Structure 1
Amino acid sequence: MVLLGRNARRVAATLALVVVAPALGQAGSPTPREAMAAFHEVESWVREWAVPDEPVSPDPAGATGACVTLRLEGDVVGRATVVSDAGDAVWRASRAALAQASQAMPVERDALRRERLRALAPSVEIDLQIAGPWTPIVAETLTEAALTVAPARQGVAARAGERAEAVFPGVMAASNMTPGDGITAALGALGLAPTPLATLREETGLVLYRFDVQHLTQPTAGAEPVFLTRSGRVVSTREITPASLRRFGDRLTINLIRRRWPGEEPFGVQGTYLPWRDEYEPAGAAEPLDQALTAYALARWLASGHGSPELREPVMGLTRRILRDLAIVGEGEADPTRDAAVASLRTLAEVTLTMGEGARPPAGDAPVAPAPMVQPDAEPPPAPVRAIRALANAQNARLRGLDELADAARAEVRDLFARTPPASLPALSPWLMFAELALAQGADRVPSAVALRRFREQVESRQITLADAAPTGDEDLVGGVVFGAGDAALPTWHTLRPMIALARMIADDRLTSPEERPAHLARLLDGVRFARQLAADDAVCAMFPDRDRARWGVRAAVWDQRQPVQATALALLLVTETLDAVDALTADRPETDRPPEP
């Protein structure tokens, strides 16, 4: 994970590359007001379970197609896509989707079937996408063509002769398809194989397009529709308050609790959740590193005292189960605690439970056993693992009063800062920063203050702002940090790592002066906003079959629906650190100076 020197604004401009070429459809695009009117028209048809037999034209001006999806309790019962700029796409798609739903609905096929369908109609959720003008894609290969499409925000289409097929972004998001997958699907609908683009053009006259949409969905049956970007509601930074963060933290813990292994085996929690398939990957337990990180994040949340008292017992139970299960080595299984990163995170979780006043077990419970020392390896592990180990040694030294552990941690931290350029520090986040601040606790200065400030400047320079995102319609990416280049130059869940470190730094006067704090706090809150955007709320979960299991899991990216357990654990750490920072900054302020809680 390396931060490059380009400004985030230049990167954001690549999110939706515009090629100057003739577009298909009328000038202008459908407006939100027009799309909402079309949605209510579709809703009236669905509730009556009848679409007019004669064509009607509810399409907004500039519409080139429509996709209507009908769901019952999360399952798709009808979906139809129509390509047309004649004003009838919404009507035709609604008619076809309702016909499918009439066959798929769980209703007896008898003389009362129509009445029963109408009785179930209020339980059907409606999703409507309306395509705007098509822009031809100028590219030499199918791979290049896919890179010009904003993933999960733009649809793709293919035309060969008089035939045209389109794949809408909401459909791609619901199946976790990439733009390349969408192009392949559009070609398949035309009966074409994904052969070299030059060959397809020569033999069939193929033209590829991309298009923007107005996308509305009902999070639940009968609810007011919400506008979606990349199949999610755009979260405003204004929504990020201490009260909302505490609720968010509780919801993240609930998601982690639902990942608990359902059997008697010592498997802790399950791994990456694939909500469009309703299954976990791998099929068994999460990797030991993911388990240990989850235990540490839960322990920090418990120790902070920010969580709901009603959730304390199940959160504590899951934390202790993970730590217990990590210590159980099955027959033929390698001992996971011999891995330096796993052992260090397990140590951190144990130390946090022992030291955190808010996490002490009730009277009568057995005390937490002291965490084991983390022994240095004969051959140094990778730098990120060394950073985790340094933090574990520093915290364990503080708990047990072992000077040799503190000295080992200090030597490792100094060596890592000496060897790591500022642009590479995000890969060591937040562990190296945590270790440095733990060792500098009570000191007048932080030895690496200059490097840490430079690290923060690098991160903030790579953070997407509203000014970067608004021109391309990518407001859902605000606050994300861009790593790498090329097709990887989009923010993902890895944004969370450096933001956790920045949250710890902002309340430290040695690293952030009072004059600097407002600007850095604004950037931090944008980063927390991005974490909240990654979480699958009701609007996102509308497209998944098991919404309870998917809800509040943190996705790999706003266009990638995978939910790595590490992503949810790191989001919980970010919420914890941000609330800790807010508490520290407001501790000495008069009540009248504090912002009101919503």
Structure 2
Amino acid sequence: MAPICNLSRTILKLSTILLTTALVITPALADLCTVQDAHVLFAASREWLDQQSLKTPFDAAAPDFSKGVALSPTFSTTAAGVVLRSNGRPVGQAWVKQNANSSMCLATALLKALQQASNDRVLGALPASLRANATQELALEIELVGDTRPFTGDRIDTLAARIDNAREAMAIRAGDQWAFSLPSLQQSQNQTRLPWYTMVVMAREVGVDAGADKKFQLPEGVVIYHAETRRMAQIAAKSPVFEVSRGMLTVPLSDITTHALEDMSIAIAAHLESRIRNPEGLSQEAINTLNALGPAGEYQPTLGMFTQQMCSPLEQGMSAFAMAKFSELHFLQKNKIAAREFAIFTLNSLQHVVGDEENPLDHPAAAAACVLACQSLDHSDATWANPETADWQKKLWATVSEHFQLQNYADVQTWALCAAAMAQDSPNEVSKALNTVWQIRPVEKLLSASPWLLLAEQRVGKASDHEKAKEAWNLLQIVILQHQLTQKFNPDLAADLVGGWPITANGVTGATADSSRPALALALAMNPELFGIPNANGVTMESLKLALRFLKQLQVDQAACYAFRDPFKSLGGIRVAPWDSSQPLGTNATTLLAILEARALFALDSESKQN
């Protein structure tokens, strides 16, 4: 599937995030095989795979699961999928529909996937002795599909929006022709961003061109189905099997502790540091160009490559701010030094615009993020900037100040970032302007800007009595808490979405890394130094913990790396959504800011309990 630019993926976008009231519902499991049966079939599949050989010509026979495989009497599956991986790289994948009076579909899918692996060029280049036993080194993932349930409706785009993306299989039937799309196969290529496009492709597989007139209309008699699935995977061929949902383990709320937040912060910081490209072996001219480009943009773990070699100055500036903030806090000295070096490197790179890069001086929000980063670095060492950088900072300040003075409240998010950047040096002026902005109604207009408004309010300190901010925040907090996804109000909610906030993008409704912004707002507002709100055991603290649980869900851990080609580059990074493993720079920056603010809050809470 051709990559399509998804504007909503950039969490630092300047447009308003709409916290939709749509509920993300996962239907109760319908005739889905048990976890025990899935374990049994995985073990049998693994045993068969280990006994095969990739010799030429390929002459393997499908396994016979009717012998020696003890399944429950109620076992059934509608279809099955298999993905074989070599060091995280898919080398064979297949799906097969179960047909009456035929062998189990999983057996056929295994054979098809192995046959595909036998044609893999890398495996084919192995010496004969290694190639013969290569199957014993292939990691295995299987997916078993439950009963298919038909959708009512005949428009592909509206039906696609009802899919629980990357948790449910999709199927289409035209007469006796079927096509399936299984989450395991889709996620192996990170092709889950556009379910409607997947449906168009599936329709073509059964002879229906539903997208030709761009009306996405299905002919009469063509039916779209959805189904629950059970996925079992392993990190490596000799590793134990575990169940995954959307390619991840589900994070329990009990995991959210002060220590966990510290680990999350360190891991995100290390991930950001890996974005600085290795200049070894390059000419000085090439090194200068790389340094000017700054940290690499979006990383795609399933492909093992950066799909965005450069990113917006706003994302870079915000990553510098997050890392500069990290370097100020109580972490190991080596971690603080590394974060500080990243921030300085990124700010230096932003001073030199090359190729198609955009100049931060042309973008007030980016300039504001850079000012915030510079100020954080100044707190620990005001001599870090050379004369060239000091002159650049004056230009940044001029850009920020000019936009602040315009009072363009139509783009309140950019204005709020500028206010936060100016608050330290012009607290009285910023405080007065904030009092005006906090009175904007309906209060939902302030939603996407709320983290930066609260940051500005925090930074003006005693120059404000914070009363207008507190009034507006009390209303904003109601909106934020009402829209948060929880199983208390929606028992059928998928466990991995708990704590996030739903948005709709490209026809997909679900929680994404954009949830880092309301999480940051909650953490800022709960700091007793701002509004004097106690931070222990309240409804707001519970909401923040749920939000942090969701953000931890998005953080790539060792288990999630089973499907990734280079674990080192993806580990610790934040994926853009549960169904999308892409790791944008900006996503990681705002998530790090939210985690750092929450970590400070949790530390205060621990101190208050000890006292």
- What is the DSSP-based 3-state SS (H/G/I as helix, E as strand, rest coil) of the residue aligned with 2:511? coil
CA gap 1:467/1:123 in 2 versus in 1, 3 angstroms: farther
d(CA) in 2 for partners of 1:587 and 1:167? 51
d(CA) in 2 for partners of 1:519 and 1:183? 41
1:301 to 326, 333, 347: 326
In structure 2, the residue matched to 1:314 is 338
- Displacement, 1:519? 2.7
CA gap 1:522/1:219 in 2 versus in 1, 3 angstroms: farther
d(CA) in 2 for partners of 1:124 and 1:334? 44
In structure 2, the residue matched to 1:292 is 317
1:452 to 469, 473, 483: 473
Q: Are residues 1:439 and 2:460 paired?
A: yes
In structure 1, the residue matched to 2:300 is 274
Kept after mapping to 2: 8 A contact 1:554/1:567? yes
1:9-32 Cα deviation digits (max 9, x unpaired): xx33x53479xxxx9xxx722111
2:171 to 138, 157, 161: 157
d(CA) in 2 for partners of 1:225 and 1:442? 58
- What is the DSSP-based 3-state SS (H/G/I as helix, E as strand, rest coil) of the residue aligned with 1:577? helix
1:342 to 344, 347, 366: 366
In structure 2, the residue matched to 1:596 is none
What is the number of residues matched between the two proteins?
A: 561
- What is the DSSP-based 3-state SS (H/G/I as helix, E as strand, rest coil) of the residue aligned with 2:447? helix
CA gap 1:37/1:486 in 2 versus in 1, 3 angstroms: same
d(CA) in 2 for partners of 1:369 and 1:485? 41
Kept after mapping to 1: 8 A contact 2:156/2:217? no
In structure 2, the residue matched to 1:526 is 546
Kept after mapping to 2: 8 A contact 1:154/1:211? yes
d(CA) in 1 for partners of 2:125 and 2:421? 65
In structure 2, the residue matched to 1:352 is 376
Kept after mapping to 2: 8 A contact 1:3/1:459? no
d(CA) in 2 for partners of 1:360 and 1:94? 62
Pairing 1:176-255 to 2, within 5 Å after superposition: 176-177=191-192, 178-195=194-211, 201-202=219-220, 205-255=221-271
1:271-294 Cα deviation digits (max 9, x unpaired): 2223344443444x2111111101
CA gap 1:198/1:172 in 2 versus in 1, 3 angstroms: closer
Kept after mapping to 2: 8 A contact 1:556/1:564? yes
d(CA) in 2 for partners of 1:236 and 1:267? 39
2:502 to 460, 482, 485: 482
CA gap 1:354/1:34 in 2 versus in 1, 3 angstroms: same
- What is the DSSP-based 3-state SS (H/G/I as helix, E as strand, rest coil) of the residue aligned with 2:179? strand
Question: Structure 2: which 5+ runs fail to align?
Answer: 1-15, 54-59, 279-286
CA gap 1:220/1:424 in 2 versus in 1, 3 angstroms: farther
d(CA) in 1 for partners of 2:414 and 2:31? 53
1:6-57 Cα deviation digits (max 9, x unpaired): 5xxxx33x53479xxxx9xxx7221112111111111111222277656324
1:286-337 Cα deviation digits (max 9, x unpaired): 111111101000011111123x433333322211011112223459976422
Q: Are residues 1:169 and 2:183 paired?
A: yes
In structure 2, the residue matched to 1:391 is 420
In structure 2, the residue matched to 1:498 is 518
- What is the DSSP-based 3-state SS (H/G/I as helix, E as strand, rest coil) of the residue aligned with 2:423? helix
In structure 2, the residue matched to 1:585 is 605
**TM-score, normalised to structure 1's length?**
0.85
CA gap 1:244/1:40 in 2 versus in 1, 3 angstroms: same
In structure 1, the residue matched to 2:96 is 82
Kept after mapping to 2: 8 A contact 1:163/1:190? yes
d(CA) in 2 for partners of 1:300 and 1:119? 50
d(CA) in 1 for partners of 2:529 and 2:350? 38
1:431-459 Cα deviation digits (max 9, x unpaired): 10111122234977644212112212211
Greater shift after overlay, 135-144 or 460-469?
460-469
Kept after mapping to 1: 8 A contact 2:317/2:366? yes
Q: Are residues 1:49 and 2:27 paired?
A: no
d(CA) in 2 for partners of 1:484 and 1:56? 42
Kept after mapping to 2: 8 A contact 1:480/1:491? yes
Kept after mapping to 2: 8 A contact 1:449/1:510? no
- What is the DSSP-based 3-state SS (H/G/I as helix, E as strand, rest coil) of the residue aligned with 2:402? coil
Amino acid at match of 2:266: D
Amino acid at match of 1:132: G
d(CA) in 2 for partners of 1:332 and 1:561? 26
CA gap 1:108/1:437 in 2 versus in 1, 3 angstroms: closer
Amino acid at match of 2:148: W
d(CA) in 2 for partners of 1:33 and 1:332? 54
- Displacement, 1:501? 1.6
Q: Are residues 1:33 and 2:36 paired?
A: yes
- Displacement, 1:518? 3.4
Kept after mapping to 1: 8 A contact 2:301/2:582? yes
d(CA) in 2 for partners of 1:116 and 1:145? 47
Greater shift after overlay, 483-492 or 142-151?
483-492
d(CA) in 1 for partners of 2:357 and 2:201? 42
Pairing 1:360-379 to 2, within 5 Å after superposition: 372=394, 373=397, 374-377=400-403, 379=406
d(CA) in 1 for partners of 2:46 and 2:117? 14
Amino acid at match of 1:120: A
d(CA) in 1 for partners of 2:133 and 2:225? 41
d(CA) in 2 for partners of 1:54 and 1:256? 45
1:409 to 396, 420, 430: 430
Q: Are residues 1:466 and 2:487 paired?
A: yes
CA gap 1:408/1:327 in 2 versus in 1, 3 angstroms: farther
- Displacement, 1:558? 1.2
Kept after mapping to 2: 8 A contact 1:297/1:572? yes
- Displacement, 1:573? 0.6
Amino acid at match of 1:419: I
In structure 1, the residue matched to 2:563 is 543
Kept after mapping to 2: 8 A contact 1:249/1:575? yes
- Displacement, 1:498? 1.6
- What is the DSSP-based 3-state SS (H/G/I as helix, E as strand, rest coil) of the residue aligned with 2:581? coil
d(CA) in 1 for partners of 2:245 and 2:274? 27
- Displacement, 1:79? 1.2
d(CA) in 2 for partners of 1:482 and 1:129? 27
CA gap 1:579/1:200 in 2 versus in 1, 3 angstroms: closer
CA gap 1:442/1:521 in 2 versus in 1, 3 angstroms: farther
Kept after mapping to 1: 8 A contact 2:32/2:147? yes
In structure 2, the residue matched to 1:135 is 149
d(CA) in 1 for partners of 2:533 and 2:272? 36
CA gap 1:223/1:483 in 2 versus in 1, 3 angstroms: same
d(CA) in 2 for partners of 1:296 and 1:394? 15
Question: Structure 1: which 5+ runs fail to align?
Answer: 398-404, 594-598
CA gap 1:489/1:104 in 2 versus in 1, 3 angstroms: closer
- Displacement, 1:129? 0.4
- Displacement, 1:551? 2.7
Amino acid at match of 1:207: V
Greater shift after overlay, 323-332 or 259-268?
323-332
Q: Are residues 1:121 and 2:135 paired?
A: yes
Q: Are residues 1:15 and 2:2 paired?
A: no
d(CA) in 2 for partners of 1:560 and 1:108? 31
CA gap 1:338/1:470 in 2 versus in 1, 3 angstroms: same
CA gap 1:139/1:319 in 2 versus in 1, 3 angstroms: same
Kept after mapping to 1: 8 A contact 2:94/2:110? yes
Amino acid at match of 1:88: M
Q: Percent identity?
A: 22
**RMSD between superposed Cα atoms in Å:** 3.3
